[in-house]
Amino acid sequence: MSRAFVTGLKGTVLSADERAFLAEAAPWGLILFRRNVEDPDQLRRLTGDFREAVGWSAPVLVDQEGGRVQRLTAPHWRKYPSGRRLAGAAALAGDVTLVADVAHLIGDDLAAVGIDVDCAPCLDIATPDMTPAIGDRSYGERPDLVAAAGRAFADGLKAAGLLPVIKHVPGHGRARVDSHHELPVVEADLDSLAATDFMPFAALADLPAAMTAHLVYTAIDPDRPATQSPVVIEEIIRGRIGFDGLLFSDDLSMNALKGTIAERARATLAAGCDIALHCSGDMAEMVAVAAETPELVGKAAARAERALKGRAGSPHDDADGVLARLDAALAAYDATV
C-alpha cells in the first residue's frame, strides 16, 4: 500500500539509502528535476530502478511545460516554447491543432523514458503585475483562451499516454511575489476571482488531476494558503470549481509555507489535498514527510486509481510535420512581438 506523498531524489542514480527509503516508505510516486536528468538511457534506468524499489509501476512525474519550465531539455530533447508563445503562435497561424500536437510530442518524449505524469498545463490567468515565476507560462489574459489552450495541451498529453496535472488551482496569476521564496497574498474579492481566475479550472474540472497554489486569498481564507486551507479546498476547488479529481499540493519545500517539513505535510493533507508533493531530494526531509503521511485510502485512493487508468496512448504519427508547423508558426509570431 502506497503512502499519500510523492518524493524527489537527489541525483541521477538511485543510491542505496534512497532505494531502502523507497522500499520502506512506499511513496505513491516520484517527481524528477534537472538534477536527475542526464540523457535518455540514464533516465530510463532511473525510472525503472524507482519502480523496482517501490514494487509496482508507480507514477513518475515531471514539470515539462516548455519555455523556462522544461526539465528534459537540450541537447537530448527539443526545447519547446512557453505556453504564451505556443498559444500565440498557434492562434496567429490559425492552426487549431498545433497546441495539442506539440503537447503530444512532449508526451512522447516523456513516455519514452518512463515518465507518465506531466505537471501541466498551467491554467493561471496573466495579470499586468504578476510574478515572473508565472510570466509567460500563462497562456494569456482571457479565461476562455487560457481554458481552450489548456484543454488542447491536456488532450495532447493524454493522446501520448500521459496524465496531465492542471495547475495552480484555484489560480496563481494574481500573485505578485514568487511562492518559492515568500507567501503571495491575493486581495481580490470572490466575485472577481470567480469571473476570471477560477474559470479555466472550472472549464477543465473533468480532468483527472490538479495541483494547488501556495497563495492566500483573503476573501476566502485570510489565514491559510490554499494548499493548507480546508475552506479553499472544500468550498472553492471541490465546490465552486467542481473539481473531483486527484489533488496534489505544490512543493512542500517552497518558502510560501511555514513550519517544519513535517508540519507542512500534516497541514496539507489535513486540509484535503490527496497527495503531498515533496521535491527537494533531501533525505532527512523525505523521512520526515513519510512519517507524517498516511496510507493512500478512501476517496483519495479512488481518485488516484481513476487518474492512473487514463495512461494509455501512442506516439504521434507525424512528428516531423508538427515540428515544421511549429517552427513556421513561431517564426511568424516572433516577428510580431
Residues serving a catalytic function are: 180, 250
Could you give the CA distance from residue 269 to residue 276 in angstroms, rounded to a whole number? 7
Least Cα distance to 221 among 242, 235, 205, 200 occurs for 235
Please state, in angstroms and as integers, the Cα–Cα distance from residue 85 to each residue in 1, 9, 193, 223, following that order. 42, 31, 25, 36
- SS3 for 148-186 is HHHHHHHHHHHHECCEECEEEECCCCCCCCCCCCCCCEE
The CA-based diameter of the chain, rounded to the nearest angstrom, is 55
* Contact assessment for residue 7 and residue 280, using Cβ atoms and an 8 Å cutoff: no
Are residues 174 and 196 in contact, defined by beta-carbon separation less than 8 angstroms?
Answer: no
CA of 134: how far to CAs of 125, 175, 227, in Å? 9, 9, 17
Q: Are 143 and 188 in contact (CB under 8 A)?
A: no
All cell numbers assigned to 33: 528535476
